[in-house]
Amino acid sequence: MKRSIGFLLIIVGIGLGIFGFTKLDDSEAGIEIGNLEIKAEDQEARNDAYVWIGLGFAGLLGGIFLVNKKS
C-alpha cells in the first residue's frame, strides 16, 4: 500500500513541477524593437510558480522515500 502511495506521490510531484515551470515561463513577456527591449514581469505569478515547484519537489522526494522504504 505504501509503495502505491509512493508512486502516486512521484507522479503528482512531477506534474506539479511541470505546472510550476510552465507558470514561471508564462510570468514574463517582452518585446524587442531594434536595440530597444521592453520586458514585463508578473511578480505574483512568479512567486506562485516557485511554490508549485517546491510542492512538486516535496512530493517527488516523499514518493521516492516511500518507494525505497523497506517494510
Partners of residue 31 on adjacent β-strands: 38
Residue 62 has a pLDDT of 94
Residue 71 has a pLDDT of 62
Residues contacting residue 46 through CB under 8 Å, at least 6 positions apart: 24, 27, 28
Residue 67 has a pLDDT of 92
- Taking 50 as the pLDDT cut, the residues of the chain under it are none
**Cβ–Cβ < 8 Å for 69, 61:** no
Set of cell numbers at residue 61 = 522526494
Average pLDDT score over the chain: 91
Residue 33: exposure state from Cβ atoms within 10 A (0-12, 13-18, ≥19): exposed
Residues contacting residue 25 through CB under 8 Å, at least 6 positions apart: none
